[in-house]
Amino acid sequence: MIPQNQNRRAPSADEIIALLNGVCQPLAAARTPLHEAAGRVLREPVCAPEDQPPFDRSAMDGFAIRLDDANLEFKIVDEIRAGDWKPRELQAGEAVQISTGGALPGDGLQVVMKENVRVAGKILTVVERDSNRCIRFRGEDARAGQVLVESGTTLTPGALALLASIGHAKPMVTRLPRVLHLATGNEIVPPEQTPLTGQIRDSNSVLVRAFLRHWQITPQQKRVPEDEAAAKSEISNLKSEVDLLLVSGGASVGEHDFTRRLLEHFGFEILVCKTALRPGRPLIVARRGNQIAFGLPGNPLAHFVCLNLFVRVTLGKFSGWAAENIFQPGTLAAKLESGRNARETFWPARSEMKSGEMKLTPLRWSSSGDLTALALANSLIRVKAESSGLAAGAVVEFVPTI
Ligand code: AMP
Ligand code: MG
């Protein structure tokens, strides 16, 4: 835990990330249908239950003949389509028409592709024959018992296709986190409503929802008035337990900022109550057992930064990833103009691969409430504390954002 003594300096982004990597534990795993498992972390090794492919299959549309048969003319004695199982001993001078994927009727055969033969009724003439047997042999992809997907793998569409092909239809994956998001503030109105003077539209709720979709999480969301008692009863009325509680706004030290008191009331231990980064200074991180709560700064750009740095690390750990370095190296495509600042800054930017290098174009932002950069932003550049601007071509660290 980072001590909360007022005289201690506020923790840096790296310190908060290290703290989260230390306290967050992977959630339990559960058997899940394949169509719900994309992007989830596999929590068991999966082995091939039998040889892959499980039987010799034709790689081509063509004709199966004996490998040791030197004839050029054959009698077509049967047809095998994909899905058929028609074992038989082929004699010299006999051929079986076979489709791609069809099970070979026996051993010691070769498939001559359709393009290399002439057919007249039941008579087949081989025009061209080479040493390619055109067979996908049993076990050539993998042997029974071989590990095909390691525990800890994030299931991509391709990995899911592999699981489907071996009949592993309900893999053990990390369960999805249950997330509750409360947007606080008397000034916020839904986006479809026209705000009165003094009011603003709630942009954080849609940001949070879209951000969580990346992890296939659908949060429970509520707008709550700036009223501590009302917010308390909102939380106590919620039946389901949550793994992650996100409270937008009220994380600062204003008279009406009650997030800290709210979390303490519900037995959360406050781990962080202020940070040394910009935007995103007012941030609360708290925990109760394996539950994590964030009091996120209401300002939308600060919200974006805290989600992409800290909530992301939490969700990564919850899902069962090893602690990852979320920062990547890149090069500035243009000058980053900023005044000197005592705090480390996370600067919205657009990253693009150009000639094999990740190039970052810093975007304009005027304050932590300025959302305009987010139309293009896909990255946050880390600008060290006390730095006053960076030249084009400077090597920087950045976080790709969601
Ligand atoms: P707070 O963190 O509650 O002090 O809010 C800081 C700033 O963020 C204030 O200007 C709020 O109006 C603004 N804000 C708070 N919640 C939201 C929200 N859900 N959407 C957009 N702006 C917000
Ligand atoms: Mg507020």
How far apart are the C-alpha atoms of 42 and 31, rounded to whole Å? 10
- Is the pLDDT reported for residue 112 higher than 80? yes
Q: Which of 328, 333, 329, 311 is CA-nearest to residue 393?
A: 333
Q: What are the counts of helices (DSSP H) followed by strands (DSSP E) for the chain?
A: 7, 26
Q: Where in the chain is the domain with CATH 2.170.190.11?
A: 57-136
Rounded percentage of the chain residues whose pLDDT exceeds 90: 89
Q: Decide which of 3.10.450.50, 3.30.70.1350, 3.40.50.300, 3.40.980.10 is the CATH code for 13-28+176-319.
A: 3.40.980.10
Residue ranges of the chain that CATH labels 3.40.980.10: 13-28+176-319
Facing residues of 62 across strands? 98, 113
What pLDDT is stored for residue 392 in this prediction? 97
CB of 110 closer than 6 angstroms to any ligand 1 atom: no
pLDDT at 274 over 90: yes
* pLDDT at residue 319 greater than cutoff 70: yes
Dump pLDDT digits (tens) for 181-230.
999 999 999 999 999 999 999 999 999 999 999 999 999 999 988 888 88
Contact at 8 Å (CB) between 342 and 387? Answer: no
What is the C-alpha separation between 344 and 51, in angstroms, rounded? Answer: 55
Ligand 1: does its nearest atom lie under 6 Å from the Cβ of 202? Answer: yes
pTM of the predicted model as reported, rounded to 2 decimal places: 0.91
Q: Which residues lie closer than 8 Å to 261 by C-beta, 6 or more apart? A: 228
Return the pLDDT at 7.
54
- Percent of the chain residues past pLDDT 70, beyond the cut: 98
List the Cα angle 251/252/257 in 5-degree steps. 70
**Residues near 131 by Cβ (< 8 Å), separated by ≥ 6?**
none
Q: Find, among 50, 57, 51, 32, the residue nearest to 42 by Cα.
A: 32
Pick from 155, 225, 141, 230: which is nearest to 188 by CA? 225
Q: Is the pLDDT score of 239 beyond 70?
A: no
Cβ of 250 closer than 6 Å to ligand 1, yes or no, is yes
Check pLDDT > 60 for residue 123.
yes
CB distance 280 to ligand 1 below 6 Å: no
| SS3 assignment, position 61 | coil
Contacts of residue 344, Cβ cutoff 8 Å, sequence gap at least 6: 12, 13, 276, 277, 278, 382, 383, 384, 385
Ligand nearest to the CA of 187: 1
Residues in the chain: 402
**Distance between CA 177 and CA 388 in Å, rounded?**
40
pLDDT number for residue 2? 55
What are 29-59's pLDDT values in tens digits?
Answer: 999 999 999 999 999 999 999 999 999 999 9
Q: How far is the CA of 261 from the centre of ligand 2 (A)?
A: 14
The 3-state DSSP class for residue 32 equals: coil
Q: What is the pLDDT at residue 157?
A: 98
Tell me the per-residue pLDDT of 158-189, one tens digit each, with 9 for 90 and over. Answer: 999 999 999 999 999 999 999 999 999 999 99
Instruction: Average the pLDDT over 360-373 and give the result.
Output: 97
CATH 2.40.340.10 domain position(s) in the chain: 328-400
Whole-number mean pLDDT of the chain? 95
Ligand 1 atom with the smallest distance to the CA of 282 is: 2
pLDDT digits (tens, 9 = 90+) for 140-164: 999 999 999 999 999 999 999 999 9
Task: Using the mean position of ligand 1's atoms as its centre, give its distance from the Cα of residue 251 in Å.
Answer: 10
Which fold would CATH assign to domain 57-136?
Molybdopterin biosynthesis moeA protein; domain 3 (2.170.190)
Q: Are 220 and 179 in contact (CB under 8 A)?
A: yes
> What gap in Å lies between CA 264 and CA 271, rounded to an integer?
11
Pocket test for ligand 1, best of 299, 303, 304, 372 (most atoms within 8 A of CB): 299
How close is the Cα of 185 to the center of ligand 2, in Å?
4
Closest CA to 401 of 364, 383, 366, 375: 375
| Residue type present at position 98 | I
Amino acid sitting at position 262: L
**pLDDT tens digits, 245-265:** 999 998 888 888 899 999 999
**CATH code of the region 328-400:** 2.40.340.10
